[in-house]
Amino acid sequence: MDDREFLEGYRASDFELLSVAVDAAIFGVEVEAPEDPVRRLDTPRLKLLLVRRTEPPFKGSWSLPGGFLGPGESLEEAVSRVILNKTGLADLYLEQLYTFGDPGRDPRCRVVSCAYMALLDRTPLPPRDPSAGEAAWFSVALDEGRALLTLGSPAEDLDVPLAAETMPAGRIVRRSWSASAPSPMAFDHADMALAAVSRLRSKIDWTDLAFTLMPEKFTLSHLMAVYEAILGSKLLAPAFRKKMAGKIEPTGELAAPRKFRPAMMYRYCGSHTDPRKSLSHKGFRD
């Protein structure tokens, strides 16, 4: 029996305790208090939902909600269950991101984890049993190759490097930043958060993914501010309005009265002239 035959018949689980886990990067948009009280502008912020670990390893660290794949459960079912159990949330948009399987990524045993991205049109969490553990929305700020995850107090900032690693053509290179700096998040969840932010950022302008982050009715300014929050850059209103034309329709209502001219309320209408620009699974164009 040569090496090839040996490996052919080999079953990892016969020799090594191996588990499959799922982890979810759940995004939402929260309209925070206006920065400038005079102008009273809405400042929607992209938020990522993290939970605090109550058990070792990484006890006390923040992590993406996750858990092990159950018997007879599909990956999607597992991630839905985990999200419901850890956050109380249900009925969110789910999309598989990437599977992380480096040996040693979990100090307990070999765990291959399938990371998902979830998008939510609301941020208030359902009332939960306090024993279910701490969960909190972190603000996601993007500037020059870094993603800064911020809880209410700056003391709990999580600085997640968001450098697009350049790689020699044709090879996959994954930089493990745990070598350079201590992990600000449990396991390799900073890599997962990074992958999720990158995916959301890139899909935002060739899909209609942004609308899964919006309430049913919204103003165009609000929608644009959400795009700006995700992209981390300012947009020009006329170009943005033209881009959204055909994807949204006015409801006839006006926004809640604030200062100055009130805005029209719109809703998403899925009537796409180009079906290739509609929502797509598996995270790639098709």
Instruction: Candidates 68, 134, 143, 235: give the one binding a second copy (CB under 8 A).
Output: 68
Does 207 bind DNA (CB under 7 A)? Our answer is no
- From the list DNA, a second copy, none, pick the one residue 278 interacts with, judged by a Cβ distance below 5 to 8 Å according to partner type: a second copy
Give the strand pairing for 66-68 and 43-52: unpaired
CA atoms within 13 A on the CB side of 35: 3
Cα 87 to the center of its chain, rounded Å: 14
Per-residue binding letters, 38-57, with DNA (x by CB under 7 A) = -x-x----------------
Kindly state the smallest distance separating residue 254's Cβ from a second copy, in Å: 26
Instruction: Candidates 234, 238, 270, 273: give the one binding a second copy (CB under 8 A).
Output: 270
Largest CA distance in the chain: 81
User: Binders of a second copy among 192-251, rule CB under 8 A?
Assistant: 195, 198-199, 201-203, 206, 208, 211-212
Does 13 bind a second copy (CB under 8 A)? Our answer is yes
Does 241 bind DNA (CB under 7 A)? Our answer is yes
Between CA 270 and CA 276, with CA 274 as vertex, the angle to 5 degrees is 95
Distance CA 286, CA 275 (A): 10
Q: Taking contact as CB under 8 A, which single stretch among the options 12-20, 23-31, 179-187, 232-240 is the one that binds a second copy?
A: 12-20
**Contact between 38 and 131 (Cβ < 8 Å):** no
Cis ω before 126 (30° cut-off from 0): no
User: Binders of DNA among 217-236, rule CB under 7 A?
Assistant: 219-221, 236
**Contact between 160 and 147 (Cβ < 8 Å):** yes
Can you tell me which residue has the tokens 């809640």?
256
Does 262 bind DNA (CB under 7 A)? Our answer is yes
Kindly state the smallest distance separating residue 280's Cβ from a second copy, in Å: 8
Count of residues binding a second copy (CB under 8 A)? 76
